[in-house]
Chains A and B, each alone.
Chain A
Amino acid sequence: GENVGLHLPTLSVQEGDNSIINCAYSNSASDYFIWYKQESGKGPQFIIDIRSNMDKRQGQRVTVLLNKTVKHLSLQIAATQPGDSAVYFCAENNGDNFNKFYFGSGTKLNVKP
């Protein structure tokens, strides 16, 4: 699969603070990225996506930034809540098959009350 990796395996933040989770990818041809949240023992849940023709996309309390120059994307969570505690994965589309994604190694987010 594609080499999609994360800089920080574990991130601890205080409730109410902002969180930033980073992800690096290696395939410059990738044109679609998704951030997923996975709670323990459950399947991943879609958070937000971004296409390569954009460098920023905002959702509810979440923002994804894409830097194609350095092949890096990040997930920003505003006012982090205890319910945000989970493992977060970025997933990269390999450019050949729109629906085929490869996942990064994941970052565990711990939100301290």
Chain B
Amino acid sequence: GAVVSQHPSWVICKSGTSVKIECRSLDFQATTMFWYRQFPKQSLMLMATSNEGSKATYEQGVEKDKFLINHASLTLSTLTVTSAHPEDSSFYICSAPDRGNYGYTFGSGTRLTVV
């Protein structure tokens, strides 16, 4: 079945630095990638939608200059958390539509801790 590979699985960074998270579709082309954030014991919150070859669209309240999204190819989308602060610590998950069936396929998530 469709697989979305997400890296890194966890990262610790200092406050003020930037962190890049990658999501790759391994056996299918993902023209669209969705990025979610999940705080402990909470649901997934859709942050933005990346589209290959065009600008990402952000959900209301999500700072596009802080969460830079790039969809460089049909198999790669990246999320960069810029000037990270402790409140950005969260679980970030990407997902891509699975054209075959089953809605869409999720990456394994990235646990970001900003210290």
B and A form one assembly: yes
Q: How many A-B residue pairs have CB under 8 A?
A: 55
Question: A: which residues have CB within 8 A of B?
Answer: 1, 32, 34, 36, 41-46, 49, 89, 91, 99-106
Within B100-115, the residues touching A (CB, 8 Å) are 102-109, 111
Once the chains bind, are A42 and B109 in contact (CB under 8 Å)?
A: yes
Chain B residues with a Cβ under 8 A of chain A: 6, 32, 34, 36, 42-46, 49, 59, 91, 93, 95, 97, 102-109, 111
The 8 closest A-B pairs by CB, nearest first: A43-B106, A99-B97, A46-B102, A103-B44, A34-B103, A103-B43, A105-B43, A43-B109
Query: Which of these, A44, A100, A106, contacts B106 with CB under 8 Å?
Result: A44
Q: Are A89 and B103 in contact (CB under 8 A)?
A: no
By beta carbon, the residue of chain A nearest B60 is A1
Cβ-defined contact, B111 with A91, below 8 A: no
Q: How far is the CA of A99 from the CA of B95 in the complex (A)?
A: 10
> Are the CB atoms of A49 and B49 closer together than 8 Å?
no
Q: How far is the CB of B94 from chain A (nearest CB, A)?
A: 8
> Are the CB atoms of B111 and A49 closer together than 8 Å?
no
Establish whether residues B44 and A44, one from each chain, have CB atoms under 8 Å apart when the complex forms: yes
Q: Nearest chain B CB to A101's CB is how many angstroms away?
A: 7
19 contacts between A and B (CB under 8 A): A1-B59, A32-B103, A36-B106, A41-B111, A42-B109, A43-B93, A43-B108, A44-B44, A44-B106, A46-B103, A49-B103, A99-B97, A100-B34, A100-B49, A101-B104, A103-B36, A105-B42, A106-B42, A106-B43
Q: How far apart sit A89 and B36, CA to CA, in the bound complex (Å)?
A: 14
